[in-house]
Amino acid sequence: MNGNGTDMIMQVDMEQLNRRNFRSLLQALSRPGTEHPLYPLYGSVVMAAASLLLYAEVSFFEDAAVDWKLIQALTGSLRSGAEEADYLFFDDPSLQGLRWARTGESRNPESGATLLFRCQDLQAGSRVQLSGPGIDGSLETILPVSRSFLDLRAVKNRHFPTGVDCFFLSDKKEVLGIPRSTVVKIL
């Protein structure tokens, strides 16, 4: 610690940032299709999410422009191939990334991957109707993905409780979550 106590202040700020972001990620999955604030870490929403989700016992795959050496130093997590990764990070909603993601097994559905996609805007993409847990009836919204992405997601999630969970991280500092339990109908 240096003489003026700035190391302690940085630690307190980091803890507060992580608490806020953790709450936003939880709310994004528990209230699918709704946007929640995401506070950047070192100027990056991807880094903010990665610092919360990654730790020594999980693996990740990345195709996103972030300082992954810093993420590994902060979290102790290991880089792996896309097909084996617990968490997959992309600079945009990637069909290939969705193809690679593992869906888990009926005995271990929690082993399905979580995908995180950086987007410029959460309100640019496909108009959809969402239903399922966390949604009162149904919700019409826009997801920042193509119809082909939604078609492939439906295939990946067809045998609930297996499937994949998705987070969309916007450059406008927001997060939107679509868990595997959410039914997405293209409008």
Instruction: List the domain boundaries for the chain.
Output: 6-186
88, pLDDT greater than 60: yes
Q: State pLDDT tens for residues 137-155.
A: 999 999 999 999 999 999 9
- The CB density around residue 173, as the number of other CB atoms within 10 Å, is 14
- Do the beta carbons of residue 22 and residue 52 sit within 8 Å? yes
Q: What is the mean pLDDT of the chain?
A: 91
Q: What is the mean predicted confidence (pLDDT) over 3-14?
A: 54
The residue type found at 57 is: E
Percent of the chain at pLDDT exceeding 70: 94
Q: How confident is the model at residue 66 (pLDDT cuts 50, 70, 90)?
A: confident
d(CA 111, CA 103): 7
Q: State pLDDT tens for residues 11-59.
A: 548 788 999 999 999 999 999 999 999 999 989 999 999 999 999 999 9
Measure Cα distances from 102 to 122, 133, 162, 176, 186 in Å. Answer: 25, 22, 9, 21, 23
The two tokens of residue 73 are 């130093």
Q: How confident is the model at residue 9 (pLDDT cuts 50, 70, 90)?
A: very low
The two tokens of residue 142 are 């826009």
The two tokens of residue 38 are 């995401």
Predicted TM-score (pTM) of this structure: 0.90
181, pLDDT greater than 80: yes
- Do the beta carbons of residue 171 and residue 118 sit within 8 Å? yes
The two tokens of residue 56 are 């020594």
Torsion of CA 88, 93, 98, 100, to 10 degrees: -50
6, pLDDT greater than 90: no
The residue type found at 66 is: V
Cβ-proximal residues to 94 (8 Å cutoff; 6+ apart), any chain: 63, 117
Architecture label for domain 6-186: 3-Layer(aba) Sandwich (3.40)
What is the model's pLDDT at position 67? Answer: 87
Q: State pLDDT tens for residues 95-148.
A: 999 999 999 998 998 899 999 999 999 988 999 999 999 999 999 999 999 999
